[in-house]
A = this chain, B = another copy of it.
Amino acid sequence: MPGLSRVVVEASEAMSVKYNTMVYELQQRGKHVVVMSLGEAYFDIPMVPMEELAQPDVHHYSHSRGLLDLRRKLADYFRTEYGVDFDPDQQVIVTAGSKAAIHMTFMSILNPGDEVIYSEPAWVSYPEQIRLCYATPVGLPYEKSVYDFEEFVTSKTKAIVINNPNNPRGQVLDRKELEHVLKLARKYDLWVLSDEAYSDFLMDDSFISLAALDPDKKHAVVFNSMSKNYGISGWRIGYVIANKELISNVLKVNQHLITCPATILQHYLARNFHRRLEITKPQIRDVVCKRKQVAAYMDQIGLTYLPGTATFYLFVSIAPSKLGSEAFCTRLLQDESVCVVPGIGYGKSCDAFIRVSVGAASFEEIQYGLGKIKELIDKTS
Taking Cβ atoms with an 8 Å cutoff, the residues of A that contact B are 1-9, 11-14, 17, 20-21, 24, 28, 38-40, 42-45, 47, 49-51, 55-64, 68, 96-97, 99-100, 103, 107-112, 125, 128-129, 132-134, 158-159, 185, 189-191, 218-219, 231-236, 243, 245-246, 249, 251-253, 255-265
B4 engages A249 (CB within 8 Å): yes
Copies in the complex: 2
Which of B14, B55, B252 interacts with A255 by CB under 8 Å? B14
Closest to A89 in B: B25
- Sample of 13 A–B contacts (CB below 8 Å): A4-B245, A6-B111, A12-B252, A14-B255, A21-B63, A44-B56, A62-B234, A96-B261, A103-B256, A107-B132, A134-B134, A234-B260, A236-B260
Q: Which residues on the B side are within 8 Å of A39 (C-beta)?
A: 61
Q: Which residues on the B side are within 8 Å of A107 (C-beta)?
A: 5, 8, 132
- Give CA–CA (A159, B2) in the complex, Å: 9
Q: Which residues on the B side are within 8 Å of A1 (C-beta)?
A: 218-219, 243, 245-246
Q: Which residues on the B side are within 8 Å of A108 (C-beta)?
A: 4-5, 8
B21 engages A253 (CB within 8 Å): no
B49 engages A258 (CB within 8 Å): no
Given contacts A56-B45, A218-B1, contact A262 B243 (CB under 8 A): no
A64 engages B249 (CB within 8 Å): no
Q: Which residues on the B side are within 8 Å of A51 (C-beta)?
A: 47, 49
A17 engages B64 (CB within 8 Å): yes
Nearest-neighbour CB distance to chain B for A33, whole angstroms, equals: 15
- Give CA–CA (A134, B9) in the complex, Å: 17
Nearest-neighbour CB distance to chain B for A243, whole angstroms, equals: 7
Closest to A28 in B: B68
Q: Which residues on the B side are within 8 Å of A40 (C-beta)?
A: 60-61
Which of B17, B256, B259 interacts with A132 by CB under 8 Å? B256
Q: Which residues on the B side are within 8 Å of A262 (C-beta)?
A: 234-236, 261-262, 265
Closest to A48 in B: B51
A234 engages B59 (CB within 8 Å): yes
Which of B11, B28, B243 interacts with A252 by CB under 8 Å? B11
A234 engages B50 (CB within 8 Å): no
Closest to A267 in B: B234
